[in-house]
Amino acid sequence: MSRKVKTFFHVFLRSLFPHSGYYSKVIKVPFSFSFKYFLMILFVFNACFVLYLVAKYNPAKINSIISATSSSLSNYPDYLTISLKKGRLITNNNHPYFLWLDYQDKKNLFLVIDESANPKKIQLYKSSFLLTAQELVINDTRTNTYSSFPLTYVDDQKITKEKINQLVQIIDRFHSLFPLLFISGFLLLVVFVPFSSLIVTFIYLFFSSVIVFLVFKFFLQKHFHFRKIFQVSFHAITFPLLLDYAVIMINPTIRINSALFLPLRQVPFPMLFLIILAVFVAVGVYEAHTKEHEEKTHHVPAASTRLHHRKKH
């Protein structure tokens, strides 16, 4: 393991949770050192995030879904006509229509068209989507919840076998271009994710540092240089940033009741992240100056003792 890698892990582990032993050293090292560390943890976290996205939406998986969608739509019945007029859906079918996807060696119910159904029936069907007479319902099986959207937002139209065949042709065309599109998307992701992350995180750091500076100055009567507070924030963000990326990738849920789970990302997480970051920066600044204050406290009695000793002689 190279020296630079060892140094990074050394700084990373000691920056996770603020303590005077390490943070007192942070305010004594060059500003550029802390800034380089900040850029490095952003690079590492974003690299992990990009790899996570590639693993989750890998080409083989997407390719299989595209093929399954094209195959299922090709089996759309010739007789079935779906009309949408003024936000109301009508079919010429007297029973629900089920669209299945053959994916991962099993049939998955993708869409149900049931004019007489209420939105809650999607949980009975266990389908990804449900079209009722007036709503599009989307199912989230992970959290056992669903969302409904009125069809009034959709233009009036008539869906027939001919239009479905046209859609299949578009999907097949996309399928043939998919390898090129995936590579282009991946390269765009590699550039966009780190850049946007740097801008957004830098803004969070700046505002949290301003908050901490004002709190220490006007409420605690502590006059710390803003530049040093900002430098400490480059280290103090380590754990909040790790938590932020973990929430995005793991997507944990909060249990509301026995049947309902709310994804943590639906909580006002940006504001929560700013609060957590400000707390870590404040603790980091306090710990960074604790040792310095103790050293000054210990030196003062020693100086007083020497002065008293001189007077006696």
Residues 82-100 have pLDDT tens digits of 999 988 999 998 889 999 9
Q: Using pLDDT thresholds of 50, 70 and 90, give the confidence band for residue 54.
A: confident
**Degrees, nearest 5: CA angle 304-310-313:** 145
**Structure confidence at residue 145 (pLDDT):** 79
CA–CA gap between residue 264 and residue 24 (Å, rounded) = 34
Q: Which residue has the tokens 């990326």?
A: 245
Q: Using pLDDT thresholds of 50, 70 and 90, give the confidence band for residue 61.
A: confident
Q: Which of 30, 14, 10 is nearest to 284 (CA)?
A: 14
Average pLDDT over residues 131-137: 92
**Structure confidence at residue 306 (pLDDT):** 44
- Tokens for 219? 């409420």
Contact 111, 154 (CB under 8 A): no
CA–CA gap between residue 12 and residue 22 (Å, rounded) = 11
**Structure confidence at residue 224 (pLDDT):** 87
Give the predicted TM-score (pTM) of the model.
0.73
Q: Is the pLDDT of residue 141 over 80?
A: no
Mean pLDDT over the full length of the chain? 85
The C-alpha torsion from 232 through 238 and 243 to 249, rounded to 10°, is 140
CA 35 vs CA 32, 53, 66, 142, 173: distances in Å: 5, 27, 44, 39, 47
DSSP state, residue 155 = P
